[in-house]
Amino acid sequence: MKRNTWQREAVKTALSERGDFVSAQRLHADLKQAGSTIGLATVYRTLTDLVSADEADALQSPDGENLYRACSSEGHHHHLICRNCGHTEEISAEAVEAWAATVAAEHGFTQPRHVVDVFGLCATCSAATSA
Amino acid sequence: MKRNTWQREAVKTALSERGDFVSAQRLHADLKQAGSTIGLATVYRTLTDLVSADEADALQSPDGENLYRACSSEGHHHHLICRNCGHTEEISAEAVEAWAATVAAEHGFTQPRHVVDVFGLCATCSAATSA
DNA sequence: TCCTTATTGATAATGATTGTCAATATGGAT
DNA sequence: ATCCATATTGACAATCATTATCAATAAGGA
Protein backbone atom coordinates (compact mmCIF):
# COMPACT_ATOMS: atom_id res chain seq x y z
CA MET A 1 0.00 0.00 0.00
CA LYS A 2 2.02 2.93 -1.26
CA ARG A 3 1.71 6.21 0.58
CA ASN A 4 2.36 9.66 -0.72
CA THR A 5 5.17 11.37 1.07
CA TRP A 6 6.73 14.77 0.48
CA GLN A 7 10.01 13.01 -0.21
CA ARG A 8 8.56 10.92 -3.01
CA GLU A 9 6.98 14.01 -4.49
CA ALA A 10 10.27 15.90 -4.36
CA VAL A 11 12.19 13.08 -6.05
CA LYS A 12 9.53 12.73 -8.69
CA THR A 13 9.60 16.45 -9.39
CA ALA A 14 13.38 16.58 -9.52
CA LEU A 15 13.40 13.75 -12.05
CA SER A 16 10.68 15.34 -14.15
CA GLU A 17 12.57 18.61 -14.34
CA ARG A 18 15.41 16.75 -15.99
CA GLY A 19 14.85 15.71 -19.51
CA ASP A 20 17.78 13.34 -19.60
CA PHE A 21 18.82 10.15 -17.88
CA VAL A 22 20.34 10.70 -14.47
CA SER A 23 21.81 8.45 -11.80
CA ALA A 24 20.39 8.15 -8.31
CA GLN A 25 23.65 9.51 -6.97
CA ARG A 26 23.49 12.56 -9.22
CA LEU A 27 19.85 13.25 -8.43
CA HIS A 28 20.52 12.92 -4.73
CA ALA A 29 23.47 15.30 -4.93
CA ASP A 30 21.35 17.85 -6.76
CA LEU A 31 18.55 17.60 -4.19
CA LYS A 32 21.07 17.95 -1.39
CA GLN A 33 22.65 21.00 -2.95
CA ALA A 34 19.20 22.53 -3.25
CA GLY A 35 18.84 22.19 0.51
CA SER A 36 16.92 18.90 0.66
CA THR A 37 17.46 16.45 3.52
CA ILE A 38 16.22 13.42 1.62
CA GLY A 39 18.32 10.35 2.16
CA LEU A 40 20.06 8.48 -0.63
CA ALA A 41 18.21 5.25 0.13
CA THR A 42 14.94 7.09 -0.32
CA VAL A 43 16.01 8.42 -3.70
CA TYR A 44 16.86 4.90 -4.83
CA ARG A 45 13.61 3.49 -3.51
CA THR A 46 11.53 6.18 -5.10
CA LEU A 47 13.21 5.84 -8.47
CA THR A 48 12.73 2.08 -8.37
CA ASP A 49 9.05 2.56 -7.58
CA LEU A 50 8.63 5.05 -10.41
CA VAL A 51 10.09 2.49 -12.82
CA SER A 52 7.78 -0.23 -11.48
CA ALA A 53 4.85 2.14 -11.99
CA ASP A 54 5.93 2.77 -15.57
CA GLU A 55 6.42 6.44 -14.80
CA ALA A 56 10.14 6.30 -15.43
CA ASP A 57 12.58 4.32 -17.54
CA ALA A 58 15.77 2.74 -16.33
CA LEU A 59 18.91 2.20 -18.33
CA GLN A 60 22.29 0.74 -17.44
CA SER A 61 25.25 2.93 -18.16
CA PRO A 62 28.39 1.36 -19.61
CA ASP A 63 29.80 1.52 -16.10
CA GLY A 64 27.01 -0.66 -14.86
CA GLU A 65 25.34 2.17 -12.99
CA ASN A 66 21.59 2.54 -13.31
CA LEU A 67 20.25 5.70 -14.87
CA TYR A 68 16.68 6.92 -14.66
CA ARG A 69 14.50 9.22 -16.71
CA ALA A 70 10.90 10.34 -16.39
CA CYS A 71 8.70 9.07 -19.19
CA SER A 72 7.39 11.82 -21.40
CA SER A 73 5.20 9.55 -23.46
CA GLU A 74 3.11 6.58 -22.54
CA GLY A 75 3.55 3.11 -23.83
CA HIS A 76 6.51 1.23 -25.11
CA HIS A 77 9.32 3.34 -26.50
CA HIS A 78 13.08 3.55 -26.78
CA HIS A 79 15.72 6.21 -26.43
CA LEU A 80 18.11 8.09 -28.59
CA ILE A 81 20.80 9.34 -26.24
CA CYS A 82 23.67 11.74 -26.76
CA ARG A 83 26.75 10.17 -25.25
CA ASN A 84 28.37 13.57 -24.85
CA CYS A 85 25.79 15.75 -23.13
CA GLY A 86 23.16 13.19 -22.23
CA HIS A 87 20.34 14.83 -24.20
CA THR A 88 17.69 12.21 -24.76
CA GLU A 89 14.82 11.81 -27.17
CA GLU A 90 12.15 9.17 -27.07
CA ILE A 91 11.59 7.17 -30.20
CA SER A 92 9.06 4.59 -31.16
CA ALA A 93 10.40 1.36 -32.50
CA GLU A 94 7.75 -0.60 -34.26
CA ALA A 95 10.29 -1.77 -36.81
CA VAL A 96 12.45 -3.20 -34.04
CA GLU A 97 9.49 -4.78 -32.24
CA ALA A 98 8.61 -6.64 -35.42
CA TRP A 99 12.20 -7.63 -36.06
CA ALA A 100 12.73 -8.95 -32.55
CA ALA A 101 9.54 -10.99 -32.69
CA THR A 102 10.50 -12.44 -36.07
CA VAL A 103 14.05 -13.32 -35.10
CA ALA A 104 12.94 -14.94 -31.87
CA ALA A 105 10.35 -17.04 -33.63
CA GLU A 106 12.83 -18.11 -36.30
CA HIS A 107 15.03 -19.54 -33.58
CA GLY A 108 12.22 -21.15 -31.64
CA PHE A 109 12.32 -18.61 -28.84
CA THR A 110 9.16 -17.54 -27.04
CA GLN A 111 8.28 -14.61 -24.79
CA PRO A 112 10.71 -12.30 -26.54
CA ARG A 113 11.81 -9.09 -24.89
CA HIS A 114 14.43 -6.74 -26.18
CA VAL A 115 16.86 -4.11 -25.05
CA VAL A 116 17.42 -1.43 -27.63
CA ASP A 117 19.15 1.85 -27.05
CA VAL A 118 20.74 4.13 -29.58
CA PHE A 119 23.65 6.36 -28.67
CA GLY A 120 25.21 9.08 -30.76
CA LEU A 121 26.12 12.73 -30.75
CA CYS A 122 23.10 15.02 -30.75
CA ALA A 123 22.79 17.87 -33.23
CA THR A 124 24.24 20.38 -30.80
CA CYS A 125 27.23 18.28 -29.84
CA SER A 126 27.81 17.21 -33.43
CA ALA A 127 28.03 20.85 -34.46
CA ALA A 128 30.34 21.67 -31.56
CA THR A 129 32.64 18.79 -32.47
CA SER A 130 32.89 19.94 -36.05
CA ALA A 131 33.94 23.45 -35.02
CA MET B 1 52.91 -4.92 -25.40
CA LYS B 2 50.77 -7.90 -24.47
CA ARG B 3 52.54 -11.08 -23.53
CA ASN B 4 51.19 -14.59 -23.81
CA THR B 5 50.87 -16.29 -20.48
CA TRP B 6 49.52 -19.71 -19.56
CA GLN B 7 46.89 -18.00 -17.47
CA ARG B 8 45.55 -15.99 -20.40
CA GLU B 9 45.46 -19.12 -22.50
CA ALA B 10 43.58 -21.03 -19.82
CA VAL B 11 40.97 -18.28 -19.42
CA LYS B 12 40.52 -17.97 -23.15
CA THR B 13 40.06 -21.73 -23.48
CA ALA B 14 37.59 -21.87 -20.60
CA LEU B 15 35.54 -19.13 -22.20
CA SER B 16 35.61 -20.78 -25.60
CA GLU B 17 34.36 -24.05 -24.17
CA ARG B 18 31.26 -22.25 -22.99
CA GLY B 19 28.82 -21.31 -25.66
CA ASP B 20 26.85 -18.95 -23.46
CA PHE B 21 27.47 -15.71 -21.63
CA VAL B 22 29.23 -16.18 -18.33
CA SER B 23 30.34 -13.85 -15.55
CA ALA B 24 33.95 -13.45 -14.50
CA GLN B 25 33.01 -14.78 -11.09
CA ARG B 26 31.44 -17.89 -12.56
CA LEU B 27 34.34 -18.55 -14.89
CA HIS B 28 36.80 -18.09 -12.06
CA ALA B 29 34.86 -20.49 -9.86
CA ASP B 30 34.83 -23.10 -12.61
CA LEU B 31 38.58 -22.76 -13.20
CA LYS B 32 39.21 -23.01 -9.49
CA GLN B 33 37.09 -26.12 -9.19
CA ALA B 34 39.05 -27.66 -12.04
CA GLY B 35 42.20 -27.19 -9.99
CA SER B 36 43.44 -23.93 -11.44
CA THR B 37 45.27 -21.38 -9.29
CA ILE B 38 44.46 -18.42 -11.48
CA GLY B 39 43.49 -15.33 -9.55
CA LEU B 40 40.17 -13.55 -9.95
CA ALA B 41 41.83 -10.29 -10.96
CA THR B 42 43.57 -12.14 -13.78
CA VAL B 43 40.29 -13.57 -15.02
CA TYR B 44 38.79 -10.10 -15.11
CA ARG B 45 41.82 -8.63 -16.85
CA THR B 46 41.93 -11.35 -19.44
CA LEU B 47 38.23 -11.12 -20.22
CA THR B 48 38.51 -7.35 -20.59
CA ASP B 49 41.44 -7.79 -22.96
CA LEU B 50 39.55 -10.36 -25.02
CA VAL B 51 36.69 -7.90 -25.44
CA SER B 52 39.10 -5.13 -26.44
CA ALA B 53 40.59 -7.47 -29.01
CA ASP B 54 37.12 -8.23 -30.39
CA GLU B 55 37.53 -11.89 -29.48
CA ALA B 56 34.72 -11.78 -26.97
CA ASP B 57 31.48 -9.87 -26.42
CA ALA B 58 30.41 -8.25 -23.20
CA LEU B 59 26.89 -7.79 -21.99
CA GLN B 60 25.44 -6.29 -18.84
CA SER B 61 23.07 -8.49 -16.92
CA PRO B 62 19.95 -6.94 -15.42
CA ASP B 63 21.80 -7.03 -12.11
CA GLY B 64 24.49 -4.82 -13.55
CA GLU B 65 27.05 -7.62 -13.64
CA ASN B 66 29.15 -7.98 -16.76
CA LEU B 67 28.84 -11.19 -18.72
CA TYR B 68 31.27 -12.41 -21.37
CA ARG B 69 31.08 -14.75 -24.29
CA ALA B 70 33.59 -15.86 -26.90
CA CYS B 71 32.74 -14.68 -30.37
CA SER B 72 31.82 -17.48 -32.72
CA SER B 73 31.53 -15.31 -35.76
CA GLU B 74 33.46 -12.33 -36.89
CA GLY B 75 32.11 -8.93 -37.44
CA HIS B 76 29.18 -7.10 -36.01
CA HIS B 77 26.40 -9.24 -34.58
CA HIS B 78 23.87 -9.39 -31.79
CA HIS B 79 22.54 -12.00 -29.43
CA LEU B 80 19.40 -13.93 -28.82
CA ILE B 81 19.63 -15.10 -25.22
CA CYS B 82 17.50 -17.50 -23.20
CA ARG B 83 16.80 -15.86 -19.89
CA ASN B 84 16.18 -19.21 -18.29
CA CYS B 85 19.16 -21.37 -19.22
CA GLY B 86 21.44 -18.80 -20.81
CA HIS B 87 21.61 -20.53 -24.18
CA THR B 88 22.78 -17.96 -26.69
CA GLU B 89 22.62 -17.64 -30.43
CA GLU B 90 24.28 -15.01 -32.56
CA ILE B 91 22.11 -13.12 -34.97
CA SER B 92 22.84 -10.57 -37.59
CA ALA B 93 20.82 -7.42 -37.39
CA GLU B 94 20.98 -5.55 -40.62
CA ALA B 95 17.38 -4.45 -40.19
CA VAL B 96 18.19 -2.89 -36.85
CA GLU B 97 21.41 -1.31 -38.12
CA ALA B 98 19.42 0.40 -40.83
CA TRP B 99 16.69 1.48 -38.45
CA ALA B 100 19.15 2.89 -35.92
CA ALA B 101 21.00 4.84 -38.59
CA THR B 102 17.77 6.24 -39.99
CA VAL B 103 16.35 7.25 -36.63
CA ALA B 104 19.58 8.89 -35.56
CA ALA B 105 19.77 10.89 -38.77
CA GLU B 106 16.12 11.96 -38.48
CA HIS B 107 16.93 13.49 -35.11
CA GLY B 108 20.18 15.09 -36.20
CA PHE B 109 22.37 12.63 -34.32
CA THR B 110 25.72 11.56 -35.72
CA GLN B 111 28.08 8.70 -34.97
CA PRO B 112 25.24 6.37 -34.03
CA ARG B 113 25.91 3.22 -32.05
CA HIS B 114 23.34 0.88 -30.64
CA VAL B 115 22.82 -1.70 -27.99
CA VAL B 116 20.50 -4.46 -29.07
CA ASP B 117 19.91 -7.73 -27.28
CA VAL B 118 16.93 -10.00 -27.46
CA PHE B 119 15.90 -12.17 -24.52
CA GLY B 120 13.35 -14.92 -24.49
CA LEU B 121 12.86 -18.57 -23.66
CA CYS B 122 14.74 -20.87 -26.01
CA ALA B 123 13.02 -23.78 -27.70
CA THR B 124 14.10 -26.22 -25.01
CA CYS B 125 12.99 -24.06 -22.11
CA SER B 126 9.79 -23.10 -23.87
CA ALA B 127 8.92 -26.75 -24.23
CA ALA B 128 9.81 -27.47 -20.62
CA THR B 129 7.64 -24.62 -19.42
CA SER B 130 4.68 -25.84 -21.38
CA ALA B 131 4.91 -29.35 -19.83
C1' DT C 1 72.42 -16.90 -19.39
C1' DC C 2 70.99 -12.30 -18.27
C1' DC C 3 67.99 -8.43 -18.22
C1' DT C 4 63.97 -5.54 -18.91
C1' DT C 5 59.57 -5.15 -17.94
C1' DA C 6 54.92 -7.14 -18.45
C1' DT C 7 52.00 -9.93 -15.64
C1' DT C 8 50.40 -12.31 -11.76
C1' DG C 9 47.65 -12.98 -7.48
C1' DA C 10 46.49 -12.04 -2.72
C1' DT C 11 44.62 -8.45 -0.59
C1' DA C 12 42.90 -3.81 -0.13
C1' DA C 13 40.08 -0.30 -1.94
C1' DT C 14 36.16 1.52 -4.41
C1' DG C 15 31.53 2.75 -5.25
C1' DA C 16 26.79 1.67 -6.43
C1' DT C 17 23.09 -0.38 -4.33
C1' DT C 18 20.36 -2.60 -0.81
C1' DG C 19 19.40 -4.06 4.02
C1' DT C 20 18.52 -2.81 8.92
C1' DC C 21 15.82 -0.75 12.40
C1' DA C 22 14.45 3.02 15.57
C1' DA C 23 12.04 7.11 14.69
C1' DT C 24 8.67 9.51 12.08
C1' DA C 25 4.76 10.32 9.13
C1' DT C 26 0.65 9.03 6.47
C1' DG C 27 -4.04 8.11 6.05
C1' DG C 28 -8.12 6.30 7.77
C1' DA C 29 -11.32 5.64 11.68
C1' DT C 30 -13.58 7.63 15.44
C1' DA D 1 -9.23 16.89 16.73
C1' DT D 2 -7.28 12.57 18.44
C1' DC D 3 -5.83 7.94 18.02
C1' DC D 4 -3.86 4.02 15.82
C1' DA D 5 -1.92 0.76 12.51
C1' DT D 6 1.57 0.54 9.66
C1' DA D 7 4.09 2.43 5.72
C1' DT D 8 8.16 5.15 5.13
C1' DT D 9 12.22 7.49 6.28
C1' DG D 10 17.27 8.11 6.80
C1' DA D 11 21.72 7.19 8.92
C1' DC D 12 24.58 3.68 8.84
C1' DA D 13 25.87 -1.08 7.93
C1' DA D 14 26.23 -4.68 4.68
C1' DT D 15 26.83 -6.58 0.16
C1' DC D 16 29.09 -7.54 -4.02
C1' DA D 17 31.22 -6.92 -8.46
C1' DT D 18 35.14 -4.82 -10.02
C1' DT D 19 39.56 -2.49 -9.95
C1' DA D 20 43.89 -0.89 -7.67
C1' DT D 21 48.21 -2.01 -5.28
C1' DC D 22 52.66 -3.97 -5.15
C1' DA D 23 56.08 -7.63 -4.20
C1' DA D 24 57.08 -11.71 -6.62
C1' DT D 25 57.26 -14.13 -10.86
C1' DA D 26 57.52 -14.99 -15.69
C1' DA D 27 57.77 -13.88 -20.71
C1' DG D 28 60.52 -12.72 -24.45
C1' DG D 29 64.45 -10.78 -26.53
C1' DA D 30 69.51 -10.04 -26.63
The model's confidence at residue B75, banded by pLDDT at 50, 70 and 90, is confident
Per-residue pLDDT band for A131 (boundaries 50, 70, 90) equals low
Which of A57, A68, A80, A130 would you mutate first to test chain B, the one with the most B CBs within 10 A?
A80
Q: What share of chain B is helix, strand, coil (3-state, %, to 5)?
A: 40, 25, 35
Q: Please report, for chain A, the start and end positions of each structural domain, with discontinuous segments joined by +.
A: 1-72, 73-131
> In CATH, what class is A1-72?
mainly alpha
pLDDT at residue A74 greater than cutoff 70 = yes
- Strands B56-60, B66-70: pairing kind: antiparallel
Assign a CATH topology to domain A73-131. Answer: Dna Ligase; domain 1 (3.30.1490)
Q: What are B84-120's pLDDT values in tens digits? A: 888 999 998 888 888 999 999 999 999 998 888 899 9
Q: Contact B118/A108, CB-based, under 8 Å?
A: no
What separation, in Å, do the N-terminal and C-terminal C-alpha atoms of chain A show? 54
Q: What confidence score (pLDDT) does residue B72 get?
A: 83
Question: What is the value of ipTM here, to two decimals?
Answer: 0.84
**A105 at B interface, C-beta within 8 A:** no
With a cut of 70, say whether residue B131 has pLDDT above it. Answer: no
Q: Is A37 exposed, middle or buried (0-12, 13-18, 19+ CB in 10 A)?
A: exposed
Asked whether the beta carbons of residue A103 and residue B80 sit closer than 8 angstroms, the reply is yes
What is residue A130's predicted lDDT score, i.e. its pLDDT? 73
